[in-house]
Structure 1
């Protein structure tokens, strides 16, 4: 099953392919394979957070911004050799989707799809 993230819904994204603390607006549709999500978490930002756009301009995430954070399975990981090949760092791909307070409906929809595949015991 795939989760389609649609463009122009006011969703911002952070992922491994970007520099740390960089956010980009979702400007084209993309699919996440729900079968390859290893971990998912949902939370709300309760304090001031500063992020940067691709040009390095600072902007503040509003309080009560909702976040969907998914970590992909180890099939979607990069392996970086450290000093002289003795250590190897495995970094799984992740996606953080940010939904500003006025944009609750897409957040609830995506969260509902992910939670529909969870067995609550």
Structure 2
């Protein structure tokens, strides 16, 4: 089993091809192919994190997304943000989120705090 670090785009593409083939085979964990898949997947993930970092979503877009997911209206957001006027101000980007709003949105709607802090 020859596994080496991913140093460049060529290495990355080769590793992706190998991972794809191994995923199609679906090897059992602990087998040589299963171990190879696990190690290569870790190397690919590391390379992608370093070379293709993902930005956190916009806080307001994250709130709107969670509202859509849960079928919540602006009035449903009052316990987390405040009166309806304040909800609309936040959703229209005319008011920022306070620390207490961030805590409630994180605790109750499970929106990650690091996204809400933005």
- Structure with more of its chain in strand, by fraction: 1
TM-score by length of 2: 0.24
- Flag the structure with higher helix content: 2
Q: Of the two, which has the highest radius of gyration? A: 2
TM-score (norm: length of structure 1): 0.24
